[in-house]
Amino acid sequence: MDISKRLMAEFFGTFWLVLGGCGAAVLAAGVPAFGIGYAGVALAFGLTVLTGAYAFGHISGAHFNPAVTFGLWVGGRFPAKDVVPYWIAQVVGGFAGGTVLYLIASGASGFDPAAGFAANGYGDASPQHYSMMAGAVCEIAMTFMFLMVILGATSYKEPAGFAPIAIGLALTLIHLISIPVTNTSVNPARSMGVAFFQGGAAIGQLWFFWVMPLVGAGLAGLVQRWLSSNDTTATETKM
């Protein structure tokens, strides 16, 4: 597939993930009596990946996440020359999703993004004030398992067409576990997409939500590469 089309698919998929997942958190999670809460936000993120993978997976592989792209490269399933272009498309798509969400949310009286715009954080910026160490362990472990599911579900040994379901459910579970800790990143593009609108600690801690997901993804790529060393999966796997 032409690289320009693949990058556009990554842009739209990441746009959808940020708009759908963060949009659920910003617009619907805290509505009195009718809010969807943590569970609803977790499901929203899972649904964005599931639906986005079916919409764009045949074009770009449906990464929608710099950590996923990195983990697939480390695992020998994605070409090095396309890593940075994918990252750029994902970051721009995430920012576009955050921009549309901001335009929608700012239509409400009294809206203040600095008071909360689904940004990630640790310490005082954590939803339940978890420490930096707890946040690091959480982001590394959750991203590690996310990539383990992705790499396993997209193996040629698995039934074709079912990978997005497993991946979407995995992301839902990850959010159910980790929203209270860091507001769940496991995705640097998702973190960047809203951080600049919230400002403050969200920007100051942004480095953390690049480093920890990439560490977890890289470890998963190495482990899965060893586990499936006799597998015949192609270099570039489509979801």
Confidence of residue 232 (pLDDT cuts 50, 70, 90): low
CA distances from 196 to 6, 111, 183, 214 (A): 26, 16, 16, 20
Confidence of residue 229 (pLDDT cuts 50, 70, 90): confident
pLDDT, tens digit (0-9, with 9 covering 90-100), for 1-19:
899 999 999 999 999 999 9
Q: Which of 92-101, 149-158, 222-231 has the highest mean pLDDT?
A: 92-101
In this prediction, residues 51-69 reach a mean pLDDT of: 96
CA distances from 188 to 1, 2, 30, 61, 192 (A): 25, 25, 24, 18, 6
pTM of this prediction?
0.93
Long-range contact list for 109-117, CB < 8 A, 24+ apart?
113/197, 113/198, 113/199, 114/198, 114/199, 114/200, 116/26, 116/198, 117/22, 117/26, 117/194, 117/197, 117/198, 117/202
In this prediction, residues 196-214 reach a mean pLDDT of: 97
Check residue 1 and give its pLDDT: 80
User: How far apart are the C-alpha atoms of 164 and 162, rounded to whole Å?
Assistant: 6
pLDDT at 239 over 50: no
Residue 118 DSSP class: S
In this prediction, residues 133-159 reach a mean pLDDT of: 91
Residue type, 3: I
The hierarchical CATH code for the domain 3-227 is 1.20.1080.10
Check residue 235 and give its pLDDT: 43
pLDDT at 25 over 80: yes
